[in-house]
Amino acid sequence: MAEQTHECWSILLAAGRGERLAGACAARGAAAKQFLSWKGAPLWWHSVAVLASVPLMHGIVLVFPPDLLESARREAQILVERRHPGVPLIIQAGGFRRQDSVRSGLEVLPASCGVVLVHDAARPFLSPALVTRTAAPLLKRNDIDGVIPGLPLTDTVKEVSVTAHGVLAACTPDRTRLRAVQTPQAFRADVLRLAHARADAEGWEVTDDASLLERCGRAVLIVDGDEGNRKITLPEDLEMLRENGEKQPCCGWGYDVHRYGGIRPLRIGGISIPCPEGANLGIVAHSDGDVLLHALMDAILGCMGGGDIGRMFPDSDPRWENASSSLMLEHVLDKAAKSGIRVTHADLTVIAQKPKLAPHAGEIVRNVARLLRLPLGHVNFKATTEEGLGFTGEVRGIKAAAMVMGLREESGAWREECC
Ligand code: CTP
Ligand code: MG
């Protein structure tokens, strides 16, 4: 078995004009079908995400229409920043026909590329398993130069003659000898380059790359295709991109500690808590030191991959000196809303030896629910001691933990940012 000595790259074809879908795309503000917004990203990005997730993939060449190259480049930059595909992306201008776009992509493939997968951005439903199934045989076998996915036909197919009397059935090929083929199609890069050079020299017109290898007498293996790997071509195919407004659940966890013996009056969940006689439960803090709201904010930031409150409200910033944590929470909720996240439930725990918090639980829940704009049953508050152990047990400080559930809606922000 030959060792993998060369890298595997992909050429993602997104340089078509999508003429059969032009009207529907214009109505949705997309220049062509590969730029339609789906699940918070342009259609072409979904293929990038799948191709890049396959361990054997080293990089991807993205081929865009020449007149849309700059806007597509900006779109790609934003998506790379937000989603990090983890492999290099090279952007290239396509050509007039699909095969011209492939050729153009081949020109910028690095010399280290030994196997290249050519994939249509109009097939956004490809699976990582299909990518691996298509690429892997070329890395293991020397007797083939290409691998393509194919599906047996279920319909009987006719060869026809188009005549003045109409389209006439000419003959019926044996269906068992036919396959409907898809992309990605994998090839040895040097063989595909030669095949394209020959096609150019001899004026061959093809609709896929495997046909070029067939004409060159090269062996192309057909592996099982994937029924789900459909191509978006006609207006009725847009049904496959229909979004049902489905939101993804997300959750976050937060934790905070404050030391007693400070000057800030004790506040928990935005409520002033009276200090038992003889104890100094004043809080040491830069802001108002509401340990519960701080844990809650960290949990919300956790939901959205937003870091922590230390980063959002640095101690060094005088704006947050004695700042109201309720106000800081408002900023965090605003940030969450901009990320398409709505908090749906919060479970909050304060750990303190003193003061006794049970008498304040109802008020804390009501206030936090008000701040989160949630029904009362969607906020839970618990208080516990640590049985006299540790710093809470010694009444040197107080801590809080928060668990938050939310729903995330994919936003189309990538488009607003790049247009
Ligand atoms: N493609 C390309 N360059 C071209 C033509 C097509 O990169 N000059 C790409 C398309 O972007 C698509 C894939 O090849 O991802 C398959 O082509 P097809 O489904 O025919 O797309 P379009 O050519 O864009 O659509 P239409 O034929 O309706 O104009
Ligand atoms: Mg086309």
14 lines ligand 1 (CB under 6 A): yes
Q: pLDDT class for 276, splitting at 50, 70, 90?
A: confident
| Averaged pLDDT for residues 380-401 | 97
For residue 175, is pLDDT > 70? yes
Question: Residue whose CA is closest, atom 13 of ligand 1?
Answer: 120
Q: What is the reported pLDDT for 160?
A: 97
For β-strands 179-181 and 146-152, DSSP reports them as antiparallel
| Averaged pLDDT for residues 238-264 | 92
Sign of CA dihedral 365, 366, 370, 373: positive
Ligand nearest to the CA of 33: 1
348 Cβ neighbours under 8 A, 6+ residues apart: 269, 292, 295, 296, 364, 368, 379, 380, 381, 382, 400, 401, 402, 403
| Averaged pLDDT for residues 381-394 | 97
Span 330-361, pLDDT tens digits: 999 999 999 889 999 999 999 999 999 999 99
C-alpha 251/C-alpha 343 separation (Å) is 9
Q: Which of 389, 385, 363, 392 is nearest to 376 (CA)?
A: 363
23 lines ligand 1 (CB under 6 A): no
For residue 204, is pLDDT > 60? yes
**For a substitution probing ligand 1, which of 13, 108, 117, 126 has the most ligand atoms within 8 Å of its CB?**
13
Instruction: Assess contact for 383 and 350: CB atoms under 8 A.
Output: yes
- Ligand 1 center–CA 18 separation, angstroms: 6
Ligand nearest to the CA of 23: 1
Report percent pLDDT > 70 for the chain: 97
| Averaged pLDDT for residues 315-341 | 93
Span 35-80, pLDDT tens digits: 999 988 999 999 999 999 999 999 999 999 999 999 999 999 999 9
20 lines ligand 1 (CB under 6 A): yes
C-alpha 295/C-alpha 368 separation (Å) is 12
Q: Which atom of ligand 1 is nearest to the CA of 96?
A: 8
17 lines ligand 1 (CB under 6 A): yes
Domains of the chain and CATH, by start:
7-150+179-241 (3.90.550.10), 246-418 (3.30.1330.50)
- Ligand 2 center–CA 67 separation, angstroms: 17
- In this structure, of 71-80, 135-144, 246-255, 410-419, the range with the lowest mean pLDDT score is 410-419
Q: Which atom of ligand 1 is nearest to the CA of 17?
A: 24
Report percent pLDDT > 90 for the chain: 90
| Averaged pLDDT for residues 205-224 | 98
- Ligand 2 center–CA 98 separation, angstroms: 7
For residue 1, is pLDDT > 50? no
Q: What is the reported pLDDT for 377?
A: 95
Q: pLDDT class for 414, splitting at 50, 70, 90?
A: low
11 lines ligand 1 (CB under 6 A): no
121 lines ligand 1 (CB under 6 A): yes
For residue 321, is pLDDT > 70? yes
Torsions phi, psi of 35, nearest 5?
-100, 5
Torsions phi, psi of 96, nearest 5?
-70, -50
255 Cβ neighbours under 8 A, 6+ residues apart: 295, 298, 399, 400, 401, 402
- Output b/e per residue, 133-149; b: 16+ Cβ within 10 A: bbbbbbbeeeebbbbbb
Q: What is the reported pLDDT for 40?
A: 86
Q: pLDDT class for 413, splitting at 50, 70, 90?
A: low
Q: Which atom of ligand 1 is nearest to the CA of 95?
A: 8
Ligand nearest to the CA of 92: 1
Q: Which atom of ligand 1 is nearest to the CA of 232?
A: 19
Q: Which atom of ligand 1 is nearest to the CA of 19?
A: 29
177 Cβ neighbours under 8 A, 6+ residues apart: none
For residue 415, is pLDDT > 70? no
Q: What is the reported pLDDT for 229?
A: 98
Instruction: Pick 322 or 8 by higher pLDDT.
Output: 8
392 lines ligand 1 (CB under 6 A): no
Q: What is the reported pLDDT for 2?
A: 43
**For a substitution probing ligand 1, which of 61, 98, 205, 206 has the most ligand atoms within 8 Å of its CB?**
98
**For a substitution probing ligand 1, which of 10, 12, 17 has the most ligand atoms within 8 Å of its CB?**
17
For residue 186, is pLDDT > 50? yes
- Ligand 2 center–CA 19 separation, angstroms: 7
- In this structure, of 207-221, 231-245, 368-382, 392-406, the range with the lowest mean pLDDT score is 231-245
For residue 418, is pLDDT > 70? no
Q: Which of 169, 215, 220 is nearest to 195 (CA)?
A: 215
Ligand nearest to the CA of 234: 1
Structure-block tokens of residue 30: 């997309």
Q: How many CA atoms lie within 13 A of 184 on its CB side?
A: 32
123 lines ligand 1 (CB under 6 A): no
